[in-house]
Structure formats: C-alpha cells, structure tokens
Amino acid sequence: MRTRFLIGVTLTDLAALLVAMVIGSAIVFETPLLWDARIDVDRSLLPLLGVMAVGAVVMSFATASMSGHGVPRPTYGRLLMIVAGTFLLTTTTSFMVRSLPYSRLYVPLVLAIWTVLGAGHRYLRRRRPWTERFVVVTSEKALVDELAESPHVEIVRVIDPQTEEELDPLPPGTALVVDLRSALSERVARYVSSCDLAGFDVRPLASVYQEHLQRIPLVHLNDGWEISIPLRSTQPWLPGKQIFDIALVVLTAPLWLLVGAVVWTFIRIASPGPAIFRQRRIGRGGEPFVMYKFRTMVLDAEENGPRFAAENDSRLIRGGAFLRRTRLDEIPQLYNVLIGDMSLVGPRAEQVPFVRQFRKRIPFYDLRHLVRPGITGWAQVNYGYADDAADTIEKLSYDLYYIQHMSPALDLQILWKSVWIVLTGTGAR
C-alpha cells in the first residue's frame, strides 16, 4: 500500500508537470505542441523539457523518505521541495552546459503552474484519504479505539484472543492484525496461521499502531531495548546532526540575534527584573544542565514550587502569552544548542522536580533521555504542551517514536511543522 501510494503520487506529479509544460508552451511560445516550440530559431525546447523531467524524477525519489516510517501522506511541504529542487537542478545544468537552451520566462511559469496542479491533486487526495481495512485480534480496547481514529484505518471486526467460536474467513482486501501480547486460544491461533497460509496480510498490532499513529504503544514495551537498540543504527549520524544544528544556528544568527534584542528590550520594559530566565533541566543521559529562555512570567511565579503552564496563566507578564504563542521566548535556547546541551530537534527538556516524579510513576520515562533534548520535537508538533502526568504519558509515546525512528528526513519534517506552528500559534501555553 505504501509503495503503491508513493508511486501514484509521483506519477500524478509527472502528469501535472507535462500539463504545465503544454500550458506554458502555449502561453510563451504560442503553441501547445512541445516539439514545435522553439526558444530561438535554431534551438528546440525539448532538451530543456528533458532536463526538467529528469530533475522532477530525481527530486521525487530523493524526497520519498520525507514521508517517514509512518503512513505516507500527500504533503504540500514535499511538493515545494520537489519543485524547488527541480528548479535548482534545471538552472544549474543550464549554467554548466552552455549549449542547453534556457528560457527565464518559461521555466518559472511552468514550475508555478506545476505547483498549483500538484497542490490541487494533493488537496483532493487529502479530502478522500485511502484506507486499510483490518480485522484485529486483541483485548486492548483502548488501542483499537485510538487506531480507529486514524483517517487511513477501517476496523472491520475485533476478535477476542480467547474466543472458541467459529471464525469466518477474512474479507478480500483485509489484513489481519494480531496483538502478540495476547494469549491466543487454540482456535484463534489456528485461525491466524490459516490466514497466513492463505496469503492474507498478517501484521503485529504494535507495528500497525506505529505506522498509522506515529507513536509507540507503551503497553507493548518490554524492557526498553526496543527503543535503545534501533538507536544504535542512528549513532553514526548523531555527530552530523549536531554539526547541522550548530551550522543552522550560526547561519541564522543575524536574524535571531536581532529579534532576540527586540524581545529582550520589550521584557525589560514590560516587567521589572532580568529578561533571561535560567532553569535547571534534565538533558542527555539524565544529566542536569542550565536552560535559557526569555522570561514570560513574574519573578515569583514558582515561589510555591514548579507547576505546569496553563492557558490564560495568571503568572504571565504583559505580552508573555504572545511570546509563548510565537515561541519567541525560546530564542535563548539556541545558545544551549551552540554549547551542546540541546539539539534543534528532540524530546522536550523537563524540569528536575517533574523528572523525579515521572521516573517513579511512568514506566520507561528515562528512555527519552537517550538523546539530547530539543527546542522542538515530535511530541511538541503532534501533541503540544502537557498539563499533567496523563498528558506526559501521551507525549512520551511520541518522544519514544522519534528516538526509535530518528533520521535527517524526520528532523526536517519536524522543523517544517514547527515553522507552521510558530506562524499559526497553535498549541502554545
């Protein structure tokens, strides 16, 4: 299903590019027949079209990993990366190969039309998402209910693992999803084996849950090695991740230093006291470090002890809600990235008292400290802020998913989502 979906989107993109080429040719060269179009008297348009088509194919495959481990979705971000990459490859090739014809009007026009057409077919696909049909063998009602909320899942039937009743064959086009933690009755065990022998798709519930919800079902964890072992394959990439973080912070320093100076001045005017707030947080390996933020609360906000931030928090200074909503209060954390305490992407760094509580109450909580904490992360862009221990458990399921599937593509996806959240202000406290 995943491969078929990605191929379908790619082929539709290429068909949209062909339509854009024809429309662009009709506008610029006054002919929809591409083989008749001429950039000048002696040079045909076809070589340029070939380079653009090759660039589109290369970028489509290069960005395929942007869909991540989970269920692929027709994202607009990937479309923009494909179009931008195609433009870059086309112009670079034209610059290096002087004999290649190039039109400064035609190429941007075609890419603009292609972007509109690509966004259009993605919009239609998102309105009518494809689904997988499952028969689920489990007694975990909560997991089934959460899985059923995915727009790509249809639960056909749920089978009690201990049933001794006669079971009907799976309907065509249906996969059997089995909770491997459940003790199966003799009849259900034979049924699972028969479905496998008959050629049906038989899959573990934990894997399907991860693919569709992009989080870890915590009840399926054993001793935590399910998270730590996949991380070993990522270890060689971690130094490169840190280099990327530092390089991006340095390159964008003129922007965030300017904005930071404005925020610092505003806080000093809006509230008495220092503009920078320092607090001990827990980092990689469970080691504490000092995290820096712009202060958005009154000076005595935690005189009665730390507590979670809340909507319309009375402790906020004037303008503090805006700084939190736009994430401008987190600009000083870029310094933490530079000195190696934090990463741009990773689990949220939590306060020391909260970590002490959660270690006792939440199984596998310390696994989130296997990597550097991040300014943004998979849990932040998918769940937002935590209000209590229950929310923290939900966020942990996303944090552990991120650690298990860390990759450059996933980091870029999180950074892209974070930019959108900053622009819209969603999920801020």
Element (H, E) at 178: strand 174-178
pLDDT at 423: 76
pLDDT value at position 125? 81
Q: How far is CA 320 from the centre of its chain?
A: 28
% of the chain beyond a pLDDT of 70: 92
Tell whether the model's pLDDT for residue 306 goes beyond 80: no
Task: Write out the E strands in 276-337.
Answer: 276-282, 288-294
pLDDT one-digit tens code per residue, 334-368: 999 999 999 999 999 999 999 999 998 998 999 99
Per the structure block, which two tokens stand in for 129?
Answer: 């998402």
Contact 281, 293 (CB under 8 A): no
Between 47-61, 101-115, 309-323, the lowest mean confidence (pLDDT) is in 309-323
pLDDT in tens, 179-193: 999 999 999 999 999
Q: 406 vs 6, 69, 128, 234, 374, CA distance in Å?
A: 21, 10, 30, 7, 13
Structure confidence by residue, pLDDT tens digits, 174-233: 999 999 999 999 999 999 999 999 999 999 999 999 988 999 998 888 888 888 888 888
Three-state secondary-structure class, residue 349: coil
The confidence score (pLDDT) of residue 250 equals 96
- Backbone phi, psi, residue 132, to 5°: -110, 135
- pLDDT beyond 60 at 165: yes
Distances (CA, A) of 162 to 29, 167, 192: 71, 12, 13
pTM of the model: 0.80
Structural domains in the chain, sorted by start: 2-127 (no CATH), 132-213 (3.40.50.10700), 235-424 (no CATH)
pLDDT digits (tens, 9 = 90+) for 62-85: 777 666 666 667 778 788 889 999
pLDDT at 296: 87
pLDDT score, position 66: 61
